[in-house]
Structure 1
Amino acid sequence: MTSVSFVRKACETRKPRVSTRGRSIFSDKNSFRYTSEWLPTAHQIERSFFMSNDDKSLAYTRWNCKYHIIFTPKYQRKVIYGQLRKDLGKILRKLCEMKDVEIIEAHAMLDHIHMLVRVPPKICISSFMGYLKGRSAVLIHEQHANLKYKYGNKSFWSKRYYVSTVGLNQKTNEKYIREQEADD
């Protein structure tokens, strides 16, 4: 139930208040006054806004921050395949778990990674991306030493990345990420 429909329903279910003069507040058709009797309580509004099943919570916060992230290896080389692809999946899952970031959907292409993630509001998305790309590059180089010759020491990802917030179009984004391989 949206907040507008919630307020409408609350207003429709209550009877009009009769003023002290014996007239209804609707006696003059052109004037309509909001009274505290007609408005929902703060608790009712809070429940309608903040209690969806998709939300997460912190101490005094309910949140639902979802981002669609795309990032590429340096020089957009097509190197994400085979054992590197499997190891990269494990590394990214582990790093996201350490920061309490939930991976909703992810897909690794030959030359880029798509991720749909839910990031807590205490983490800035740019600092999360710096952490994710920096730590994963170090761990990739530890497991695949041969990449040092292509990318130099301890660098794997390009500096650029794309990030977009996800709202009502989450299902569309999930489908897009899942079907990336067929589209490319």
Structure 2
Amino acid sequence: MNILQINSSARSTGSESTRLADAIVAKLQAANAGAVVTRRDLAANPHPVLDEAALQALFTPADQRSAEQAARVALDDALIAQVQAADAIVIGAPMYNFGITVQLKAWFDAIARAGVTFKYGATGPVGLVTGKKVYVAIARGGFHRDGPSDTQLPHLKMFLAFLGMTDVQFVYAEGMGMGPEAVAKAQAQADADINAVLV
């Protein structure tokens, strides 16, 4: 099994979403002898944002790109290759200001490429990244699950499905900003949920 772990917290230490992602990966490794894990920390190694230069590089035919353009496209190619090679993808996704982090958005922008990870068919877009099991570890300072302030979950579900990834499990740790008792309760519940999801 090839496991791809994406950590998108801005924190290098003390991130709950990363802790949960680590726990999910550990369970997957325990259940799959010889599993190979690739970890990408988007805070330690941020991917460049999708700007005008990147768009120009992507829309320039490969044989006409400058060296700088080819190098920029190659950065996205590397992320796409990791996703395509993975059997399981584990994403640590904290909520920042009611949404995903800028680091995760940059990763999403990099792996969404027409004709490679999705295509447009007669009835609309068709995801080309299929056969993957995806686990998303969500950490939040407050309580948003199933409420109107949870704009993060619909975004994650929609984007993953857009690329063809529909077998997705979510694990939550909410109330992380509500004091020690709330943190302990959230962590215990999240750990129990991981054990239930990864039996």
TM-score above 0.5, yes or no:
no
TM norm structure 2: 0.24
- State the TM-score, normalized to the length of structure 1: 0.26
